[in-house]
Structure 1
Amino acid sequence: MKKAITSRADVEELVNRFYDRVKADDLLGPIFHDVARVNWDKHLPIMYDFWCSILLDEDVYHRNAMIPHLQLHKRYPLQEAHFQRWLQLFHETVNTYFEGEKAALAKLRATSIAGVMRTKLGLLQQIQTSHQK
């Protein structure tokens, strides 16, 4: 049964279910496991704070989310397919387990965040250039 996102526990459930999908994904899993070598015990609480800040207006995330992604991109250039898959898994997770205003906000913000990251990594320019050819 779907539920509304109303608490930190709900955000933690969303993040955990999403990253379970990411870890198992053939495209994204190797990036997280082999390239970024994510320490999940450290990463997940950071993601809880990030999404609680966004969805619940909690003042708990005080980092620059772009820095680790820029560092990763230098070692392993992220492609549009990675962002598309990340968004697909995120939206599927939200749609499977949650409903309501905060669920819609989560999907909207995820799409926006992916767009900002693409722009900062120079991917949108690459996409536009390839469509013009």
Structure 2
Amino acid sequence: MTILTDITTLEDIKLLVNTFYSKVQKDEFIGPIFNEKIGDRWPEHLEKMYRFWQTILLEVHSYSGSPFPPHKQLPVAKEHFDRWMEIFTTTTDELFVGAIAEEAKLRAKNMAEMFNYKIDYFRNAAQNGDLLNLK
């Protein structure tokens, strides 16, 4: 039996990200959305995710940018974010235990909820012809 430890290094981040996205790519529900959007750019996407999570969890400021815009037009709904969160939580729990692992799950949950809210907002605004008031 392997004793789980917390997320403390870039190697831990890479293990989490690689394991998580490997599951996402194969998932029947959300996999096709990711695979269509990312295409053959998976290595580039994974590198960006390493930097993103390293910045958030380890306070090593290696990521800059806005994570939301690439997701704005995705054909997703709450059920997709729920599945994404289910895979993320399960993966994190399989690999790690500790305060930073719990922080990762909380940050992922908050991000999923915010992305879902913003995607709905933009969709509703577009349907209502209110695009001029969007920032």
Q: Following TM superposition, where does structure 1 have runs of at least 4 consecutive aligned residues deviating by more than 4 angstroms?
A: none
What does residue 122 of structure 1 align with? 120
The separation in 1 between residues aligned to 2:40 and 2:78, in whole angstroms, is 21
What does residue 57 of structure 1 align with? 59
The separation in 2 between residues aligned to 1:35 and 1:64, in whole angstroms, is 17
Aligned residue-pair number: 121
State percent identity of aligned pairs: 38
- What is the aligned-residue RMSD (CA, Å)? 1.7
Structure 2: any 5+ residue segments left out of the alignment? 125-135
The 8 Å contact of residues 38 and 45 in structure 2, kept in 1 or not, is answered as no
Going by fraction, where is helix more abundant, 1 or 2? 1
TM norm structure 2: 0.84
The separation in 2 between residues aligned to 1:68 and 1:54, in whole angstroms, is 19
- Listed one character per residue, the Cα deviations across residues 102-121 of structure 1 (whole Å, up to 9, x for unaligned) are 00000000000011101111
CA drift of 1:100 comes to: 0.3
The separation in 2 between residues aligned to 1:122 and 1:98, in whole angstroms, is 33
Is structure 2 residue 21 aligned with structure 1 residue 19? yes
Amino acid at match of 2:56: I
Secondary structure at the aligned position of 1:63 is classed as coil
TM norm structure 1: 0.85
Secondary structure at the aligned position of 1:122 is classed as helix
The separation in 2 between residues aligned to 1:107 and 1:65, in whole angstroms, is 17
Structure 1: any 5+ residue segments left out of the alignment? 127-133
The separation in 1 between residues aligned to 2:64 and 2:87, in whole angstroms, is 25
The 8 Å contact of residues 55 and 102 in structure 1, kept in 2 or not, is answered as yes
Amino acid at match of 2:114: V
What does residue 100 of structure 1 align with? 98
